[in-house]
Amino acid sequence: MLDDPTQTGTDASALAASVRRADPSDPQISVLDLAVTRGDGIFETLDAIDGFGQALEPHLARLSNSARLLDLPAPCLDLYREGIRQGIAASTHPRLSVKLVLTRGIEGAGRCTGWVFVDPEPDFTEARTHGLKVVTLDRGYRHDVAQTSPWLLQGAKTLSYAVNKSVYREAERRGADDVIFISSDGFVLEGPTSTAVLQFGRHLVTPSTDQGILAGTAQAAFFEYADANGLTTEYRTVTPDELHAADSVWLASSVRQIVPIVEIDGVARGFDAELHTAALDYLVTRRS
Ligand code: PLP
């Protein structure tokens, strides 16, 4: 647990003392915390491999951006860095998922609640090797929702993920494993916990982040790999027809890294296995 996660302190020993190791199976959060009663807070999840937190700074930057979008005080990033350092050091597992949370705290208390949760990461070999079936689902918002209605918080990584989870149940009802959201005006957005990446020959495309979607850190690392290996990359609007026409489609996310899509809305499709294997190898071993 992080004592006063929006503090402005920078003294290293004071920051270290602000991290309290806690057993996640014991009660830690008040039933009055607005995270519990309203889902009012933000989070990040990153991958830690052999003690190294992948894309740590982009995740911290996105945490700060989500705080800004929710009018929360800025998180103390040095305190989160210290919490992550201690959490990773306390685990013997080589592959960890690390969750960072900041909530609005108890109503009226004027202090946020924050913690870092470190857990052994699940095994994604099956999905990474054999791919996933996805369905496209209407998100119900226009692609320009972040500009027209910023209070809807599209593009912030809030704790209110009940919808992001309910769509997995809808996918299962339709015989699929995952989802790609489409805007109400017909543009490809993102997965409920991932970024969509399309391949057209030696060119990779992902939906631009001005469409009320998250700037994916795994997708950014995939593009880094592509740029360094003779492929070109592009952020732009993408139509559902292009999803079907693409040579490959992947879902990119921090802990799963990239998973290839082998079916969209009941239509089987292939993927570039050579590029997939090479990029996945880069992603799981990256140290940046
Ligand atoms: N989009 C949404 C809605 C997400 O929840 C996530 C990750 O959880 C992503 C995209 C992918 O982001 P990242 O690659 O940083 O994990």
Residue showing tokens 């992902």: 206
- Express each pLDDT in 160-201 by its tens digit: 999 999 999 999 999 999 999 999 999 999 999 999 999 999
Gap from CA of 193 to ligand 1 centroid (Å):
5
Q: 55: Cβ–Cβ under 8 A, 6 or more apart, which residues?
A: 46, 217, 218, 220, 221, 254, 288
Cβ–Cβ < 8 Å for 90, 23 = no
Distance 221 CA to ligand 1 centre (A): 13
CATH code for 12-120?
A: 3.30.470.10
Cβ(190) to ligand 1 under 6 A?
A: yes
Ligand 1 neighbourhood includes 88 CB (under 6 angstroms): no
Domain topology for 125-285 = D-amino Acid Aminotransferase; Chain A, domain 2 (3.20.10)
pLDDT for the residue numbered 8: 94
Report domain extents, the chain: 12-120, 125-285
Q: Is residue 9 scored above 90 in pLDDT?
A: no
66 lines ligand 1 (CB under 6 A): no
Query: Do 12-120 and 125-285 come out as alike in CATH topology?
Result: no
Question: Per-residue pLDDT for 287 more than 90?
Answer: no
Provide, rounded to the nearest whole percent, the portion of the chain with pLDDT above 70: 100
- Predicted TM-score (pTM) of the model is 0.97
Q: Check if 211 has its Cβ closer than 6 Å to any atom of ligand 1.
A: no
Mean pLDDT (the chain, rounded): 97
Distance CA 33, CA 238 (A): 39
CA within 13 Å, CB half, 58: 17
- Average the pLDDT over 228-244 and give the result: 98
